[in-house]
Chain A
Amino acid sequence: MEDACEEWVRHHNDWVDRVAGITNANRPHALLTLQAGAISHHVSVANFFVLLVSRRLLMPVRLAQMQWLSIILKRSFPLLIDCIANIVRSCFCPCQIMPKFQHCLFPHMRWLDDHTDVDCDVYDLSFEELALALAASDFSFPLWKPQTGRMELVSLSTRYEKATLSYLFFCIRQSFRVLRSCCDDFDAVLLDRHNKVHLGVHRPCGGFFIRWLPATIQLACSQLIAFTMSRPIRRPNDLARPVG
């Protein structure tokens, strides 16, 4: 009797499983085509990152490669940046403060945020704009902390003595140099001679393409305009003014 009951339950459970499976498979052709393209793109990007990481950081990565592979393949695009950042952190002077800063910086800039991609524009962001935007968002930079007597990640708003834009610019550019060292084609990605005269920077700007919300881009632009309003940036010395 009990076997019959189990068999009855199993039979109907299999039946409803088949019904749902058939419904799931019976999709419009256009949707399936779209899905196939999306999966293909995802796999190609994942493979690219695996290649990128394994080529440059072959020895350190080898031990953890399977772990990274599983993370990269299973999760969505923004986390790929985390993977890169983690590897960079683990391979470049882990005892120093700059890798910690890089580790905070890259996840913070999740330019491929799945929830905002529809509204995002591609923008040629300069390092100056990024530095001021991060400073305005109370991002922590590596600064000397007198209480502990060493460099720590400190929010600018907690400081009596403000950091200069020159220093923030230096931190960010150094971080991107680490990322750049992972790939010899990064010259095509990073900007080094961009025109930002309309924002008051009268010299070729370094930076990169980014996908951000228009509001965030607007914030970055307005911060730089405010900084250059009284004194445009023409030479490196013009960056040596406190922020905030």
Chain B
Amino acid sequence: MTQLTLKHSRTLLPSRPSFFAPWKHALAQIDGVVPCKGLPSVQGVQHVFIDGTAECTGTPFDLAAWGCVNAMSGAVVATGPLPGLTQNNDRAELYAILQASRWQSSQQVDVHLWIDAKWAADGFQYLHMHGFAGRWAHQDLWEDIGAQLGMSPELPPCSTLDSQPLECR
């Protein structure tokens, strides 16, 4: 028969691990405000590649990060860890879109976003066309992106291309 460990025998089934609260506090302290770099060195449309990544540990304890690079200037626009308690690849992709939109708004340049997540590209285009997001997952980030688009009325049509399959339009 199975022997219960001391941890399991003190409280019914697995106890709350002692690191849960520090883990959440550590995630809550991640700063989402990352200074943007990569000033446009050439005139015209800036091709910005964005991506999000997350570890795949198979547990609820993944960590995610995102990045934006400007292909025209060859510089990293911004990169950083994903803030918030929910850490996954999808949120990292959306956070990268949000940061790229902020950079575009601050630099007042035409931007061509490239992203390898088709669902995110489709969602962004929908948001751009209709002005609001649907009832999708990660609604908070979609709303932030929508607010960012709304704050910059001068924004040119920001065509988002999916690079999976990699193609150039």
Contacts and interface: CB of A to CB of B under 8 A. Distances in A.
Contacts of A12: 47, 49, 69, 71, 114
Nearest to A109: B12
B130 interface: no
Contact of B12 (A48, A51, A56, A209): A209
Q: Is the interface of A mostly helix, strand, loop or mixed?
A: helix
Most buried by A among B15, B26, B67: B67
Contacts of A27: 63, 81
A183 to B, nearest CB: 5
Contact of B67 (A16, A43, A56): A16
Most buried by B among A8, A23, A76, A189: A23
Given A15-B49, A24-B55, A185 B2 contact: yes
How large, as a class, is the contact surface on chain B?
Answer: 35 or more
Interface in B41-60: 47, 49-55, 57-60
A187 to B, nearest CB: 9
Interface residues of A, number: 59
B58 A73 contact: yes
A38 B64 contact: no
Interface in A14-34: 15-17, 19-24, 27, 30-31, 34
17 contacts: A16-B51, A19-B67, A19-B76, A20-B52, A23-B81, A34-B23, A35-B63, A37-B17, A38-B20, A39-B59, A41-B14, A41-B19, A48-B5, A185-B1, A185-B9, A188-B4, A211-B16
Given A20-B79, A120-B16, A208-B12, 18 more contacts: A6-B166, A6-B168, A9-B167, A13-B49, A19-B51, A20-B65, A31-B63, A34-B26, A38-B19, A38-B20, A45-B14, A48-B2, A55-B1, A73-B59, A76-B60, A112-B14, A189-B9, A211-B16
